[in-house]
A and B are shown apart, each in its own frame.
Chain A
């Protein structure tokens, strides 16, 4: 099959960013897990615009730093039935790959969506979360998944599985995501959400396999990812959409993309 082994990424490495103001912070950690005597806040202020200068460890969200992820050296081959990626995984890649591996092992249908898709396809920008849609599930199945995920991750959204399901994942119109991070940290994290709307299911049903260093991960429908990002409209989102479009235009279903763009009322000049 050629998919090779899964989940063998070795020990988590150093933080993806250097400590500019607080000294060399080894990795983003939640403060109740052994930050020792360091009292300076590793947490961001509520004003997001100030993150880049106020927190040494916090990834800069919108302004890509030249060479910030140079060490990954991503190489991407787009083929009709799959995308192949070879890279030197950084902590976000390792988190994403291990998280997907855990979902696969639990036989949960999933798709990685949004910003990490562009990053996986070689875009050089930092991100602190990996968005993942899964099929909806009941309490018994979710509890088993939660237990499996907790072997390698820690759920940083508080509550029992029943509460997480009721208050977050399956809360009707108010449904939202829950987050898992490496034990003792809260960034980077994986944001897990149930597919609930038709466009979520579309993304999940038309998911596309990506072979990352021999491990298979699924990304959501590329056409939906592009159209949704265009609709979100921020500079970062548009650049992500353009990046994914440029790399995958040879395998995109242009008719589907056009229909989605029309359906969402989104427009981009660069889409043929």
Chain B
């Protein structure tokens, strides 16, 4: 590989890291995880109720 053609990796010093923005990202990720679990939990509750009604009717 000719000199100078090596891939240049980004450097931390060149990143414009904004701690507030990243904290917000962490908060959103946590919220998203909790929402995921809650949605499936709720779905199951509805599903289980429906099944229970069928069982009782049967």
Residues on A facing B (Cβ under 8 Å): 30-32, 39, 41-46, 48, 129, 176-177, 179, 186, 197-199, 201-202, 205-206, 223, 228, 231-232, 256-257, 259-260, 263-265
For A223, the chain B residues whose CB sits under 8 A away are: 12
| Contact present for A43 and B40 (CB under 8 Å) | yes
| Contact present for B34 and A48 (CB under 8 Å) | yes
| Contact present for B19 and A231 (CB under 8 Å) | yes
Given A177-B32, A199-B22, the answer on whether A31 and B48 have CB atoms closer than 8 Å is yes
Given A259-B12, A259-B13, A265-B19, the answer on whether A46 and B28 have CB atoms closer than 8 Å is no
For B44, the chain A residues whose CB sits under 8 A away are: 31, 41-43
Residue from the list B9, B29, B37 in contact with A205, Cβ < 8 A: B9
Distance in angstroms between the alpha carbons of A205 and B8 in the assembled complex: 9
Given A205-B10, A232-B26, A260-B12, the answer on whether A32 and B19 have CB atoms closer than 8 Å is no
| Contact present for B15 and A46 (CB under 8 Å) | no
B16 at the binding interface (Cβ < 8 Å): yes
A-B complex: 4 closest residue pairs judged by Cβ atoms: A263-B17, A259-B12, A43-B44, A265-B19
- 17 additional A-B pairs beyond A48-B34, A199-B17, A231-B23, beta carbons within 8 Å, are A39-B51, A39-B52, A45-B41, A46-B38, A48-B37, A198-B15, A201-B10, A202-B10, A202-B12, A228-B22, A232-B26, A256-B11, A256-B12, A257-B12, A259-B12, A264-B17, A265-B19
Shortest CB distance A222–B (Å): 12
Residue from the list B11, B19, B41 in contact with A46, Cβ < 8 A: B41
For A231, the chain B residues whose CB sits under 8 A away are: 19, 22-23, 26
For B17, the chain A residues whose CB sits under 8 A away are: 198-199, 260, 263-264
Distance in angstroms between the alpha carbons of A228 and B23 in the assembled complex: 10
Distance in angstroms between the alpha carbons of A44 and B44 in the assembled complex: 10
Distance in angstroms between the alpha carbons of A155 and B2 in the assembled complex: 44
B47 at the binding interface (Cβ < 8 Å): yes
Q: Which residue of B lies closest to A174 (CB)?
A: B28
| Contact present for B15 and A176 (CB under 8 Å) | no
Given A43-B41, A48-B34, A198-B16, the answer on whether A32 and B47 have CB atoms closer than 8 Å is yes
For A48, the chain B residues whose CB sits under 8 A away are: 34, 37
Distance in angstroms between the alpha carbons of A263 and B47 in the assembled complex: 47
For A265, the chain B residues whose CB sits under 8 A away are: 19
For A32, the chain B residues whose CB sits under 8 A away are: 47
- Most interface-central of B25, B34, B37, B41 (chain A CB within 10 A): B37
